[in-house]
Amino acid sequence: MKWLTPFWPKRMASQMIALVIAGFVLSQIIVLIAITLDRRESLREFESARLLDRLAVTVRIIENAPPSLGRQLTAATSSNFLTFWVTRTPVLQEGIMDSDRDWHDVDERIRSLKQRIGQNRDIRFGDKDRLLRSARLPREIRSGKDDDDDDDRKRFREGDRFRPDLVLSIGLRDGRWLNAGLNHRQHVGRIGFPILLSFLITGSVLALVVILAVRRVTRPLEHLSGAADRMGRGETVSPIAEAGPADLRETIRAFNQMQDRLHRMMTDRTRMLAALGHDLRTPITSLKLQTEFIEDDDLRDRMQRQLNDMHQMAESALNFARDASDGEAARQTDITALVESLIDDMEGINTAVSFVGETRITTRCRPVALGRAIRNLIQNAVNYGGQAIVDVSDAGDHIEITIDDNGPGIPEADLARVFDAFERLDDARNKDSGGTGLGLTIARTIARSHGGDVTLTNREAGGLRARITLPATNPS
């Protein structure tokens, strides 16, 4: 069934509708075939009985009329599914085959016909394959060439114009033969059209009902999917209205409860981080004042540097907690313009930052928080790599923001470790590097709250590349 994959709907609602409609169509086709076969057999019996009556009447008419009117009379009594014609010789082989006797109940029908027209009649019965090679065929199917009897018989057998299922030949009193060809298929086709029309109407009504029912089930799922996607981007999501079947309502209720618990957990964590940062300010300030009374200059300077680092860590924690709790709303943002604005602000301080992107790319994000993540990565590139080259690109299903530097890079074993909070590699621990070891942690946290991530890789040409990936979103 792999060949069906490209044509199979991708969304669940479309798949459910397609399955129900396909099942209905298949079942109706089976029912239609069964009804048609049964109706065809019933009509065969019914028309055979009618044929006996018409044969008896036609025999009397032909025998009592002048021979010159034979062709006009047979044409007048013929119909779309029954053709009469008169010949001087029989058109069927003598005798009745066992297969015809078993299939058509020939013996009973011949007895019934003889009761109407006389017991001494020569009656022959069979299908078109039992035609004699010398048989004269009705004008309706003749090719127009009187001497081309073989071709006419072939056309008669293959159903070029008239396709009889049964052929009867009855000997008349004057030595001629009355022949009749019966076609059940044409009559069955006309009877089957109303049934087919009713199936089409029923199928259309069922399709409409199925579409409405499936939409009732899948619409709450669409709301749930959208809410989960927005929550994955760090947005505040209102509780979803519980709708649909009972099991779907339970799923939505569980999602709302999960979202509420996650929100409380993140709020408590942020408050705790803010409290720790705030509470550390006072003892750090007190220790800095006490270090002024230390007479050893080297010891005093070393302790003050450590206290300054602690102060920066506390301030970073407070800033991060403040940004996380400000409730910034996500909106459609021009990422290229956001990066250009950050670089313009930083170029006034440091000329080692450049932007090489040209494509205008937009996505849904929290611009203030994302701007802080980008700024942290640019500042790291300048501090440890000497410069920062920033680019924005569209990768199809996601957006990439890359920051390259020309520094020494980071050992492969430490690429994951540098994202740990307060983690600083040994060669970065110097008085000029600045930083607290939270920049990369904060950048990754912000990116992941948007449904993306931050990764670091060493470039082949030298230096480090920081890459922010964000899911691409439609402006709608």
Least confident of 82-96, 147-161, 232-246: 147-161
Domain at 238-327, CATH from 2.60.34.10, 1.25.60.10, 3.40.50.880, 1.10.287.130:
1.10.287.130
Six-digit token pair at 450?
């948007």
Question: pLDDT for 451-470, tens place per residue?
Answer: 889 999 999 888 899 999 99
* CATH number of this structure's domain 51-136+162-182: 3.30.450
Cα separation of 182 and 82, whole Å?
5
DSSP states along 218-260? HHHHHHHHHHHHHHHTT---PPPPP-SSHHHHHHHHHHHHHHH
| Cβ contact 76:65 at 8 Å | no
473: nearest Cα among 358, 331, 325: 331
> What pLDDT score does 30 carry?
83
Question: pLDDT for 339-378, tens place per residue?
Answer: 998 888 876 666 688 888 777 888 888 888 899 899 989 9
Least confident of 275-289, 321-335, 458-472: 321-335
Least confident of 47-51, 302-306, 409-413: 47-51
Least confident of 49-53, 320-324, 415-419: 320-324
Supply the mean pLDDT for the chain: 76
> What pLDDT score does 137 carry?
64
240: nearest Cα among 229, 250, 227: 227
CB-facing half-sphere around the CA of 129: CA atoms within 13 A: 4
Give domain limits for the chain: 12-42+193-226, 51-136+162-182, 238-327, 329-475
| Cβ contact 373:409 at 8 Å | no
Six-digit token pair at 436?
């607290």
pLDDT > 70 fraction of the chain, expressed in percent and rounded: 72
Cα separation of 398 and 393, whole Å?
9
Domain at 329-475, CATH from 3.20.190.10, 3.30.565.10, 3.40.50.11900, 3.30.70.1400:
3.30.565.10
> What pLDDT score does 157 carry?
43
> What pLDDT score does 445 carry?
85
> What pLDDT score does 465 carry?
93
Most confident of 108-122, 304-318, 360-374: 360-374
Residue 141 scores a pLDDT above 60 = no
Question: pLDDT for 382-418, tens place per residue?
Answer: 888 888 999 999 888 889 999 999 888 888 888 888 8
Q: What is the DSSP letter of 137?
A: P
Supply φ then ψ for residue 131, to 5 degrees: -65, 140
Confidence of residue 152 (pLDDT cuts 50, 70, 90): very low
Cα–Cα distances in angstroms (integers) from residue 16 to residues 125, 161, 247, in the given order: 54, 46, 17
